[in-house]
Amino acid sequence: MAAANESIWAVDIGNSSLKALRLSTERGVLEVVDFDNIRHGKILSGGGVSEAEKEELVAFSLRQFVNKHDLSMDEVVISVPSQNSFARFVNLPPVEPKRVPEIVQFEAVQQIPFDINEVQWDWQRMNEEDSSELKVGIFAIKNEIVNSAIDVLSREDIQVSYVQMAPMALYNYLLYDRPDLVNSDVRATVVLNVGAEITDLVVCTKSSVWQRCILLGGNSFTKAIADTFKLSFEKAEKLKRTAPVSKYARQIFQAMRPVFTELASEVQRSIGFYKSSNPSTKISKVVGMGGGTKLRGLLKYLQQTLQMPVERPDSFKRLTAAPGVPAAKFGENVCDFGVVYGLGLQGLGMAGIESNLLPRSMVRSMAWANKSRWFLGAACILLAVSVMSLGRTLFDRMSHTKKNSIRVQTQKILNDSKRAKQNLFQEDAKIEECKAVIAKEFAPFAYRDIIPSLYETIFSALPNAENNPLQAGLYRAFAQGDVESVMKIPRKQRMQLFITGMSIEFARSLPTAPFSEAGISRDKPTVSAANRGANYEDFTDSPKRKSRIVMRYESRLKGLVDEVAEKEKSGFVVTIAGYSPYESIESLIDPPGAKGFVTRLMELSDSNSPFSLFEKANLKHFNFSVGEVVAGGTDAMQMPDGIGEASVRRSAAGPGARYTSKTEQPILIDPLTKELISKAPKVDANGNTVLDRGRAVYEVNDHWFVLNMKFLWRDAPVLPTLPEEGSEG
């Protein structure tokens, strides 16, 4: 929580500039006593700017800032961007006040979509203490983002006292400066902060806030101009800023029109989602902040699209400029200072949300620094104790002289201890011998990680963000369970393979090893050592019999090893089953002349992998089959188990059919998105079955596949052929 101070520096480092505001209440009113807006040498997110160059540009701006302003007397509060941040408001059951932190800790672990040890998080109560409900806000952001932001300032000897997310700072600004817009929980105002790289959309009510980060900003307009006119990023940025007075203004704005449309669409979609989740809350106005709102025509376009008032403030209602502060210059930067205004309010203890995401280790260090006077008192006490200890030492010396006989007896005990240590050393010398015995016993487990390694190899070849960067967002959204983002891509265009079963069997001779006919289990993949001789444990469960076999054939082992190595090729027989929503599943698995799942497995032979695909061109060693996903009937008997979730769909035959009553049809649906994945009759918007000449028209959705292949295990251990139990050979 923020503590009240008389003055504070608030700093926001963006992609285009460093914004800073010094607020003070020393004269009894909130006023600006200093400010700065330092543009970076280049836009950090512009084309061709490396990470090292970004760090140098930010460091240079910070040095300019430190050289112009004195930060030694004030605490500093900074913002972190909204990416990878989290804010959630939850109602907790009524509990004793002392148990609230425990309940919040439990709720945070459940709500925060990251490992609790990988984030900095804080919470605060959002309603009055005497309220019957207990509503709390939980705020979190990933450690690396906080640490990165703090390190940048630490390198310039700037000590940070508070860290806050930019959307929460915007909420604090609106709550304090425009209380008329956030005086109710049933009427909300949207703050739209258009930055260089992203746009923060913050829906504000009296006791809650909802945020969304839109990956569009001022740079999106610049890139549209650069692509249209084939210009560099820097020239396109200059052209964008001078567009209103340019003779090519019409062409420039025409180039930016798609970005206008996309941004307005994203804002409209976000507001629509919020309304659907909060039907009782009405959004009355949009307040535009950030440098991006200076783009001519943007706010007017948003107002026409959203059908609600959109304004950009040209002054702050409850913030005055102190004597000596140039009011005109400050007024030019008002729309850029929304974040730092909210940060400053938190540092002064005047904010609605006062969560502090500063690492707890730094909070403790600052607390210890404030207790330095206590250390001085402790030092005095330590000096007094030292003097007393010296007196005790002199007293002990006199006692030592009187007890010489006791020392002799003690020396005898020490000698006995020395002899005991020597005996212990001799026993320790036997440790290596014991280790050798242990190593011999554990030798059969030397290759226990080979099966997991094969699993990892196969899974890495599946379509993913690395193999298919064009749909990297789809794979991230699917991994996070983000159904809305997944469904933005039409199902038949999602390049995904879902594995429902996998069988891996070891074969000491791949050319003669058959594929498994047992099918793929619904419950879990099967891993087995199908051939005897994988290691000595395959021959017997009896240690005595194992010893007899090893002794009998140890003398012949070398010759057997050479002979088997010449004839056998050891490896694994693999069967994979699953399904895919992609409209052309063959091109996803094994496209001719292009890269697919199987092609990437074939490239193992050119890598350091211990495996390589065995004779892919031979149907005896490689084949696969595909089919339509169906929910029942004889066709379903050929389909692998574990595909989708079983459900039913009610529909009517439609006009013109013999029977018009509702029927229930078995279907299969996607476990995540709940989309239909099985072949089923088409239905129209009224739920009626689509007919053609009196017969139902069927729609094919997902396809299943079964893929059989073999992997050669390079450098596999050569296994001697041992006789069957009971033979005398």
* All structural domains of the chain with their residue ranges: 1-178+317-370, 182-310, 372-426, 449-533+570-630+708-712, 644-701
Which helix H or strand E contains 399, and what residues bound it?
Answer: helix 372-402
Q: Give the start-end residues of each E strand in 312-468.
A: 320-321
Q: 115 with 333: CB under 8 angstroms?
A: no
CA dist 34 and 18 (Å) reads: 14
CATH classification (class only), 1-178+317-370:
alpha beta
DSSP state at residue 83? T
Q: Give the start-end residues of each E strand in 559-700.
A: 571-580, 611-613, 622-628, 645-651, 663-669, 680-681, 691-692, 695-696, 698-699
User: What is the predicted pLDDT for the residue at 455?
Assistant: 92
Q: 193 with 224: CB under 8 angstroms?
A: no
Listed as ranges, residues in the chain with pLDDT below 50 are 1-2, 518-519, 521-567, 659, 722, 725-729
DSSP string, 423-461: HHHHHHTTHHHHHHHHHHHHGGGTTTTHHHHHHHHHHHT
Domain 182-310 of CATH type 3.90.25.10: no
Question: Nearest CA to 497 among 615, 626, 306?
Answer: 626
User: What is the predicted pLDDT for the residue at 497?
Assistant: 94
Residue whose structure tokens are 């006199």: 398
What is each CA distance from 104 to 95, 96, 122, in whole angstroms?
11, 12, 10
CA dist 462 and 497 (Å) reads: 7
Residue whose structure tokens are 């440098």: 291
User: What is the predicted pLDDT for the residue at 129?
Assistant: 67
DSSP state at residue 501? E
Assigned token pair, 494: 């999602």
What is each CA distance from 124 to 82, 85, 88, 207, in whole angstroms?
19, 16, 11, 11
Which helix H or strand E contains 561, and what residues bound it?
Answer: helix 557-567
User: What is the predicted pLDDT for the residue at 534?
Assistant: 35
User: What is the predicted pLDDT for the residue at 560?
Assistant: 39
**Do 1-178+317-370 and 182-310 fold alike per CATH?**
yes
pTM (whole model) above 0.85: no
In Å, how far from its chain's centre is CA 311?
Answer: 35
Assigned token pair, 171: 């909420």
